[in-house]
Amino acid sequence: MSILIDADTTFIVQGITGREAVNLTRECLDYGAGAKVVGGVTPGRKGRDVHGVPVFDTVEQTVEHHGGPIDGSVVTVPPAFTKDAVIEAIAHGVKLVVIVTERIPRGDVAEMVEFANLHDARIIGPNCLGIIVPDVIKMGGIGGPARDAAKAYTPGPVGVMSRSGGMTTEISSTLSAAGLGQSTAVSIGGDAIIGSAYAELMPLFEEDGTTEAIVIYTEPGGRMEAELARYLQEESTRPLPIVAFMAGRFMDEMPGMSFGHAGTIVEGKEDTASEKIARLESAGITVAEEIAEIPGFVKDRLGVTA
């Protein structure tokens, strides 16, 4: 099994005629059993098709064409139009929105998230590459073209969550090489405010029968590690072993400067790598010094002999 998506998930791509979106659509159609991309939206481009996926002017038209509710949407429109696109999708019943776009102001993200909460919908991202269930489906550019994604991702018991899209693949590839497949890998996004952070996805992984361990990639900035620690101590229903990797340790010496992702900036003591490592460890999470150590730690925590 998996979290968020499975072989039956239907989704649309908003901004489908953009260069990146055209590639992403191809990749999703090719990967695994082939994603059910039931339509695309680019205002003014109704009647075209992208790799056989029909293009419409509005989300409403895609729902009409599909003849029923659509599960998800991948949003790749420019930052100034993202908020409206996301709200449009949710207003038409979409329950899972993956926002690829970066450089969206926080105020807009907060509005989208609040709107999603009111409609029982979930947002992944912004500034993310999406979700992949190895060999089954991918929703977003995660892992790249189908044959590249197949090289890095294999099915198995490890849930992966990462603030960096590229590192989601690097870590999954390292796990795969060590014989540890992934149940679902989620690129959660690199911005200061994101739709679903670690603590919000943990309950899904805990409910998922195939997931036996979690690997997270994290960076300085924000308090989502503290929130994860709190969740594990207060709300967890099925404690899973967790291994974390923290990048950007050098940033502790450079407060106020942003590296890598918009959300990565040391503004206060709680944002630093060293503080976060301490918090993660105090919550029983193993923190790896190098990516290559991750598979060994996961095996240790699972009680598997390497």
**One character per residue 226-255, x = contact with other proteins (rule: CB under 8 A):** -x-----------------x-xxxxx--xx
Decide the pairing of beta strands 130-133 and 182-187. antiparallel
Name the active-site residue from 66, 92, 119, 261: 261
Based on CB atoms, which residue is closest to other proteins, 46 or 274?
274
Tell me, yes or no, if 261 is annotated catalytic.
yes
Beta bridge partners of 45: none
Smallest gap from residue 4 Cβ to other proteins (A) = 19
Element spanning 54, H or E: strand 53-56
Smallest gap from residue 183 Cβ to other proteins (A) = 20
Residue 173 CB-density burial (10 A; 0-12 exposed, 13-18 middle, 19+ buried): middle
Residue 209 CB-density burial (10 A; 0-12 exposed, 13-18 middle, 19+ buried): exposed
**One character per residue 173-202, x = contact with other proteins (rule: CB under 8 A):** xx--x------------x-xx---x-----
Smallest gap from residue 1 Cβ to other proteins (A) = 25
Of the candidate residues 211, 219, 275, 298, the single one contacting other proteins (CB under 8 A): 219
Please name which of 149, 151, 154 lies closest in space to residue 134, comparing C-alpha atoms.
154
Over the range 96-116, which residues count as b (16 or more CB within 10 Å of their CB) and which as e? bbbbbbbebeeebbeebbebb
Task: Map tokens 């977003």 to a residue.
Answer: 140
How far apart, in whole angstroms, are the C-alpha atoms of residue 168 and residue 143? 8
Based on CB atoms, which residue is closest to other proteins, 66 or 151?
151
Q: Is 163 in the site for other proteins (CB under 8 A)?
A: yes
How far apart, in whole angstroms, are the C-alpha atoms of residue 42 and residue 113? 23
How far apart, in whole angstroms, are the C-alpha atoms of residue 206 and residue 203? 5
How far apart, in whole angstroms, are the C-alpha atoms of residue 206 and residue 199? 11
Based on CB atoms, which residue is closest to other proteins, 70 or 85?
85
Identify which range of 49-57, 165-173, 207-215, 296-304 contacts other proteins by CB under 8 A: 165-173
Question: Within a 10 A sphere around the Cβ of 250, how many other Cβ atoms?
Answer: 10
Smallest gap from residue 261 Cβ to other proteins (A) = 5
3-state secondary structure of 216: strand
Based on CB atoms, which residue is closest to other proteins, 291 or 304?
291
Q: Which of residues 72-131 bind other proteins (CB under 8 A)?
A: 79-80, 103-107, 109-111, 113-115
**One character per residue 28-67, x = contact with other proteins (rule: CB under 8 A):** ----------------------------------------
Smallest gap from residue 190 Cβ to other proteins (A) = 6
Q: Which residues have a catalytic role annotated?
A: 261
Residues that bind other proteins (CB under 8 A): 20, 23, 79-80, 103-107, 109-111, 113-115, 141-145, 148-149, 152, 162-167, 169-170, 173-174, 177, 190, 192-193, 197, 217, 219, 222-224, 227, 245, 247-251, 254-257, 259-264, 268, 289-292
